Amino acid sequence: MDKYNEEEQTLEKLATGNDQVWKEFYDNHRSAFRLFFIKQAELDPEDAITLFHEAMVIMHRKITNRELTAPLSSKLRTFLFGIGKMLLKKRGQNPDNWTDEIPDVPVEPESESIEEQQAKADFVRRLLHLVGEPCRELLEMHYIRGYVWEAVAREMNISNAGAARRRGFSCLEKLREILNSKM
């Protein structure tokens, strides 16, 4: 039986371009990739995620164009991490002193209890109510619901995205002041 049979089955599913399969592959490898490159290449978290996205684009292209096919000589994770290493090498960073071992999960994620998560969420809700309605609405739109600044400006009748961003910064400053006064 082939050593990478399960990996090859995943490869075939990915080659179809199925969005759900790619989302699952993305979700399964994002954290490990990010943590590996933060630790090994000393990247900051944003750069590690950017590198992950670039590596995923290359991986997607290679798989959907059938440049990567069975039989595999290693796990798909190893190919993905290898692409990340090559991208860094092209940028002038030297991965030669890194460990060759790519861990399944480099660091166990810290987990919070449901009670801790609920307590933090309640605390943030109380803070948002103290900051006032316009600021609460603006901060919720951008940071909780994920609106881009242009959409926040349009929804709140603010002249432009820059003005919405400045107002958001002022609201965050108010929030920090309230937080500092509570401590």
Q: Are 95 and 85 in contact (CB under 8 A)?
A: yes
* CA–CA distance, 9 with 6 (Å, rounded to integer): 5
User: What's the rounded Cα separation, in Å, for the pair 125 and 148?
Assistant: 21
pLDDT (tens place) for every residue of the chain, 183 residues total? 467 788 888 888 888 888 888 899 998 899 889 888 888 888 888 888 899 999 999 999 888 888 888 888 888 998 899 899 888 888 877 655 555 555 444 444 445 567 777 788 788 888 888 888 999 999 888 888 888 899 999 999 999 999 999 999 999 899 888 888 875
Give the pLDDT score at 105: 44
Shortest CA distance to 103 belongs to which of 84, 81, 86? 81
Report pLDDT for 37.
87
Closest CA to 54 of 28, 34, 83, 76: 83
Distance of CA 162 to the CA centre of its chain: 25
3-class SS at 85?
helix
Q: Could you count the other beta carbons within 10 Å of the beta carbon of residue 164?
A: 24
- The helix/strand count (H/E) of the chain reads as 8, 0
Cα torsion 114, 115, 119, 120: sign: negative
SS3 24: helix
List, in sequence order, the alpha helices (H) in 41-113: 45-64, 76-90
Q: Compute the distance between CA of residue 11 and CA of residue 79 in angstroms, rounded to an integer.
A: 11
pTM beyond 0.75: no
Q: Could you please report the per-residue DSSP string of 82-124? A: HHHHHHHHHTT--GGGS-S---SSSSPPP---HHHHHHHHHHH
Which residue from 72, 41, 49 is spatially nearest to 57, judged by alpha carbons?
49
